[in-house]
Amino acid sequence: MFNIDFKDIALKWLEPDLRLPAILDFIYSLMKPIKTTNNSFQQFRDQVNYKLLFNGQVMYLERYLNDVYDPIKRRIFISDAVRKPINYVYNKLEDKPKMYLYNQSEEQTPIYLYNRLESNGTISFWVNIPEDVTYNTIVITAQINIYKMAGKGFGFKTIPTLTPSIPEL
């Protein structure tokens, strides 16, 4: 639909008596800017069609990130954030339920205190990227924000690159 042969159009529109090499060269030179504009339109159309292949589903988002940042080994993956219970520490004057912190030697059930980022209050999923993949955090955040669902937060985790061990003889 968008493949236009400009030389063919020029030949069809020009009367047979006027199809001299000098006139054809002149018409081809007039069509050069139109051909350049059409080529940029084709490239833009291909980029938009590629972007439309992806959406916020995990498998499509993983495919997009791997296409851009790790096209050969494809090790980038997305994992769900685990919701951790939030334990609040209050002052005595606040009259809230008491929470006791114990020493490790007292052998009580451990209580963990998390900051807001660790408690996953805003993070819905993690983007796991191997440590040897180079990326710009601002750029990859913008790319993920295009496809992720509204209201979903995310964070980045670097995962160690596994190198195959060679058995010694």
Q: Is residue 63 situated within a structural domain?
A: yes
Residues 83 and 141 in one domain: yes
Under DSSP, the state recorded for 38 is H
pLDDT at 166: 65
- Per-residue pLDDT tens, the chain, 169 aa: give them: 678 888 888 888 888 888 889 998 999 999 999 999 999 999 999 999 988 888 888 888 899 999 999 888 888 898 887 776 677 777 888 888 777 777 777 777 777 777 666 665 678 888 899 988 888 889 989 988 888 888 888 888 888 887 665 666 5
pLDDT at 3: 82
Write the pLDDT tens digit of every residue in 28-38: 999 999 999 99
Domain that holds residue 125: 58-159
Cβ-proximal residues to 54 (8 Å cutoff; 6+ apart), any chain: 60, 61, 63, 64, 147
Q: Are residues 125 and 96 in the same domain?
A: yes
Residue 80 burial by Cβ neighbours in a 10 Å radius (0-12, 13-18, 19+)? exposed
Whether residues 38 and 110 share a domain: the answer is no
The answer to whether residues 27 and 62 belong to one domain is no
- Look at residue 78 and tell me if it is in a domain: yes
Give a yes or no: residue 166 inside a domain. no
Number of domains forming the structure of the chain:
2
What is the structure's pLDDT at 42? 92
Question: In this structure, what are the phi and psi dihedrals at residue 68, rounded to the nearest 5 degrees?
Answer: -85, -45
Whether residue 165 lies inside any domain: the answer is no
What is the per-residue pLDDT for 121?
64
Which pLDDT belongs to residue 45?
93
Same domain, 133 and 66: yes
Asked whether residue 18 falls in the same domain as residue 64, the answer is: no
